[in-house]
Structure 1
Amino acid sequence: MFINISSHDNDFFQATLQIQSSRPIYNSSYNSPVYNFNDKNFTFRYQEFQNLIFNPDVFESNLVSVIAFHIYMIMGIDADTFDLNSGDFFYNQARKILDFSQQNGFKGWAPNDGLQSRYYLIDNVLSPTYKEYRTVLFNYHFKGLDFMTTDLKQSKSGVSKSLMLLDQMNKRRPNSFILRVFFDTKSNEIQDIFSGGPSIPIT
């Protein structure tokens, strides 16, 4: 997690937040990227030595809320890669943070704050319209990459089949935000997976 301060006025800061997370692959030293998000709507107030307190039932500060939101997103995505749709608790906590934060005037929490905001991130993840995204998180990792050290061909096949689900989603909603988030995270890895090793049929 990297906070890049672009400007400040006394205790008010304008910044961007780059968040990245990875997930270990079974029986290997490789960590697969699962979350790569550049949060551009990030402003907050902070005074030196101010205590940062997270209360899941109250908005304390935008700095705490934004960081907590992304931590819950990371935990939800990580859970989904190990057990199908098991990230619900964490996503619902992220949604709860969004609901508490919308009334405080900071950008990124509301529908009118742009199509690449925290609002649309959690909305897309939980929407039935994009249900394949969470299925892909599980199939890609648990049925694909986790076989990388034991059966490379099966591993590549699992990854390939999971990506076909994204094609279904894209036909329903072309160039969706959540699809771009996925490929911002995975494009380099996917290229590496299919650039060598056993060949598999691509349909």
Structure 2
Amino acid sequence: MANSYRFQNRNRKATPSIFIRMVKPNSLMNYTATPLRKFLVVIALAMTIPSLFSQEIKANIQIVAPRVQMTDKQVLQTLQNAAQQFINTRKWTDENITTQEKIEFSLFFDITAINNNDFSGSMQFQVVRPTYNSTYKTTIFQFNDEDINFSYREFENLEYQENMNMNDFTTLLAYYVNLAIGMDFDSFSELGGSPYFSKMQSMVSIMTNKMGWNQGDGKGIRNRFYLAENLTNPRFKDLRLLTYNYHRKGMDQFAANPEQARKSITENIKKLKETQSIFQNCLLQKSFFSTKWPELIEIYKGASVPEKTAMSKFLSEIDPTNSQRYEKIKS
């Protein structure tokens, strides 16, 4: 990943180095730009650019219904294929992202009830990204949505238009596409995902009074309403900055300097203690630890004995839900 565009140009705006290498400077000195040659160069560039850039997303969609009695479950496969094509063949941003650097995320639908064309159940979301100079992929964010409701007729077209709801299912998919893009961008640049989180907030407003989109839906604060609210609320800016600092200043540095990377992660996580009164019941903080606890255990297993003891204690205090798991750091 050493030559990754995303790592070298965190704001995704700079020109990829591949364009710089397309023509050698020495060859320009001996080149006669006849009209025909100019035309051929333009045609060659036009054919090359689409292969360099493509849709930004590489989504893996799974839709299952193990608890639903159905004589023919082909509709689930049809829906799964349609959802994956809908996401992966659509352009979701104005950014130029190469094929090798697509944003990877997954949606796993567990359908628990089907009534004619109405589907309900739950869904698991996960977005990952590579780490610099490594084959390791870190999970940026994962989220369980317990209140999935939509209608679908087999083989119907999945229609979508921004800023309006044409179809409950495509609006749901678009919500999580923007979450994936926003989280990925936040991990590469400070608050880089803001435009996409704003789109999520707009979808919540559009879907008011629809099942699964309201303040009281889901389990407590674990719902689409509070997720979009937290990501756009200035009060929780430091939690979003944690996404950047943890990944760019921590995980991306492990290949070169594990000790410094671990130190940076420790410093940034400990900042949460200073604002614990604000973040204690915040969905973003809860989601950070529910996503990162397995990785944090592995990170601190490589620390010194005093640091293992200290971080096991600290993480247990700030994330009591996983306190028993953090004991593994000391093993």
> 1:131/1:168 Cα in 2 relative to 1: closer, same or farther (>3 Å)?
farther
Distance apart, 1:197 and its partner CA:
4.5
Asked whether the equivalents of residues 153 and 199 of structure 1 are also in contact (C-alpha less than 8 Å), the reply is no
Which one is further off, 160-169 or 148-157?
A: 160-169
Cα distance in 2, alignment partners of residues 169 and 49 from structure 1: 50
TM-score for the superposition, normalised by structure 2: 0.58
Distance apart, 1:71 and its partner CA:
1.1
> 1:18/1:136 Cα in 2 relative to 1: closer, same or farther (>3 Å)?
same
Look up the match of 1:166: 272
Asked whether the equivalents of residues 212 and 223 of structure 2 are also in contact (C-alpha less than 8 Å), the reply is yes
Find 2:211's aligned residue among 107, 110, 114: 107
Output aligned runs, 1:1-203, within 5 Å: 1-102=107-208, 105-113=209-217, 114-197=220-303
Q: C-alpha offsets along residues 54-109 of structure 1, whole Å, 9 cap, x if unaligned?
A: 2112101221111110110111111011110111111111112212111xx42222
The SS at the match of 2:286 is helix
Distance apart, 1:166 and its partner CA:
2.2
The SS at the match of 2:184 is helix
User: Paired residues, what number?
Assistant: 201
Asked whether the equivalents of residues 112 and 120 of structure 2 are also in contact (C-alpha less than 8 Å), the reply is yes
> 1:28/1:199 Cα in 2 relative to 1: closer, same or farther (>3 Å)?
farther
> 1:196/1:174 Cα in 2 relative to 1: closer, same or farther (>3 Å)?
same
Flag the structure with more relative contact order, 1 or 2, with Cα contacts below 8 A and sequence separation at least 6: 1
> 1:199/1:157 Cα in 2 relative to 1: closer, same or farther (>3 Å)?
farther
Structure 1 runs of 4+ aligned residues shifted over 4 Å read 197-203
Cα distance in 2, alignment partners of residues 6 and 51 from structure 1: 23
The SS at the match of 1:194 is helix
Distance apart, 1:200 and its partner CA:
8.2
Cα distance in 2, alignment partners of residues 167 and 29 from structure 1: 32
Asked whether the equivalents of residues 117 and 153 of structure 2 are also in contact (C-alpha less than 8 Å), the reply is yes
Asked whether the equivalents of residues 201 and 232 of structure 2 are also in contact (C-alpha less than 8 Å), the reply is no
Q: Which amino acid aligns with 2:223?
A: S
> 1:158/1:12 Cα in 2 relative to 1: closer, same or farther (>3 Å)?
same
Look up the match of 2:28: none
Larger radius of gyration: 2
Cα distance in 1, alignment partners of residues 300 and 211 from structure 2: 39
Cα distance in 1, alignment partners of residues 281 and 273 from structure 2: 10
Asked whether the equivalents of residues 279 and 285 of structure 2 are also in contact (C-alpha less than 8 Å), the reply is no
The SS at the match of 2:134 is coil
Q: Which amino acid aligns with 1:51?
A: N
Q: What are the ranges of 5 or more consecutive residues in structure 2 without an aligned counterpart?
A: 1-106, 315-331
> 1:16/1:179 Cα in 2 relative to 1: closer, same or farther (>3 Å)?
same
